[in-house]
Amino acid sequence: MLLRHARSLLFLPASNPRAIAKARTLGCDMVILDLEDAVPADRKEEALRGAVDAAAEGFGGRLCAIRINVEGTPWHGREMVALKASAADYVVLPKVESARQVKDVFSVCQKPVIAMIESAVGVLAAREIAAGEGCAGLFMGNNDLRQDLGIPPSAGREGLLLAMQTAILAARAARIAVFDGVFNRLDDEAGFEGECAAGHVLGFDGKTLIHPSQVPVANQVFGPDPQAVADARRLVEAARGGAERFEGRMIESMHVAEAKALIARAEAVGE
């Protein structure tokens, strides 16, 4: 699966074997084995071994990423070396504020990097980060970004809209994937679905998740609508080139390319 086709990207602690085993039974498109925030300092080495072993076993066709610790921590260097020899598909790098950080990790790990945008500096540098060597995608780190911007935790996402749109613009200009941040209120199903829908409308490819219960909704909201896919197939079949009429509207090559992209996404996620 291409990264941009992923709808649901589930973070889980690399120090939790039960969570890792359960992830192999879920419908998420990517499993992110976390070595950073979810793992206490005294379990970092254990988590690294667990992440490398889990990536080697695989996740049944799901994409696998490992989030390493930030530059300057005692674990950053050896995690990069370990990931180079691992079977992980991607490296997730937290708190990115420059393209140089991504390039450094990519040069050591030799794996595509997903950069987390978690600060005002990161947002303002998003264009250079997204276009830089080794960058395959962007994650919004909205929890840290809220704190950096001084937005109250209880507030909605209005104060984050410019930052999110900036990241989306940067990713699209660089032709890479971009994903919405996590939703923390696990018991608020309606709120989660609403945030997924809002993120989808903004242009995010999918959503990062923190609990297995969030996977089905993310897949449904960010997955291709069956009726839209059926319409796209008819459009591609009917198109003969140039501007023409199709089912009461005018279409041209741009619409054909858009329809083909939708069909490819549907096929990638098995819909």
The answer to whether the CB of 126 falls within 8 A of the CB of 101 is: no
Confidence of residue 19 (pLDDT cuts 50, 70, 90): very high
Confidence of residue 271 (pLDDT cuts 50, 70, 90): low
More confident residue, 19 or 242: 19
Assign domain 3-222 one CATH number from 2.30.42.10, 3.40.50.720, 3.30.160.20, 3.20.20.60: 3.20.20.60
- Residue 204 corresponds to which tokens in the numbers above? 């995010």
**What pLDDT, on a 0 to 100 scale, did the predictor assign at position 238?**
87
- Residue 190 corresponds to which tokens in the numbers above? 């309606």
Distance CA 121, CA 117 (A): 9
User: Could you give phi then psi for residue 63, rounded to 5 degrees?
Assistant: -65, 150
- Residue 137 corresponds to which tokens in the numbers above? 């995608």
- Residue 239 corresponds to which tokens in the numbers above? 């198109």
In one-letter notation, the amino acid at residue 268 is A
User: Could you give phi then psi for residue 6, rounded to 5 degrees?
Assistant: -70, 135
Q: Which residues of 179-215 are buried (b: 16+ CB within 10 A; e: fewer)?
A: bbbbbeeeeeeeebbebbebbbeeebbbbbbbebebb
Q: Taking residues 158-187, what's their average pLDDT?
A: 97
On the question of pLDDT at 251 being above 90, the answer is no
Q: Is 177 helix (H, G, I), strand (E, B) or coil?
A: strand
Distance CA 248, CA 152 (A): 48
Among residues of the chain, what percentage have pLDDT more than 90? 82
In one-letter notation, the amino acid at residue 119 is S
Q: Taking residues 82-111, what's their average pLDDT?
A: 97
- Bridge partners of residue 113, in order along the sequence: 91, 135
**What pLDDT, on a 0 to 100 scale, did the predictor assign at position 239?**
84
On the question of pLDDT at 156 being above 80, the answer is yes
Structural domain spans, the chain: 3-222, 226-268
Rg over alpha carbons for the chain, rounded to the nearest Å, is: 19
Segments in the chain forming alpha helices (H): 17-23, 44-57, 76-84, 99-109, 120-124, 126-131, 142-149, 161-174, 189-202, 215-222, 226-238, 253-268
On the question of pLDDT at 146 being above 80, the answer is yes
Place of tokens 């070595």: 35
- The per-residue pLDDT for range 108-132, each reduced to its tens digit, is 999 999 999 999 999 999 999 999 9
Distance CA 254, CA 175 (A): 16
Residues 6+ apart with CB under 8 A from 192: 183, 185, 214, 217
DSSP type of residue 107: H
- Of the candidate ranges 51-55, 58-62, 153-157, 173-177, the one whose mean pLDDT is the lowest: 153-157
- Of the candidate ranges 102-111, 158-167, 223-232, the one whose mean pLDDT is the lowest: 223-232
Q: Taking residues 188-211, what's their average pLDDT?
A: 97
The answer to whether the CB of 180 falls within 8 A of the CB of 218 is: no
Considering the chain, what is the average pLDDT of its residues? 95
- The per-residue pLDDT for range 56-77, each reduced to its tens digit, is 999 998 999 999 999 999 999 9
Q: What is the dihedral of CA 84, 11, 203, 91, to 10 degrees?
A: -10
Distance CA 39, CA 35 (A): 6
- Residue 9 corresponds to which tokens in the numbers above? 């990207």
Q: Taking residues 168-185, what's their average pLDDT?
A: 97
Distance CA 181, CA 53 (A): 27
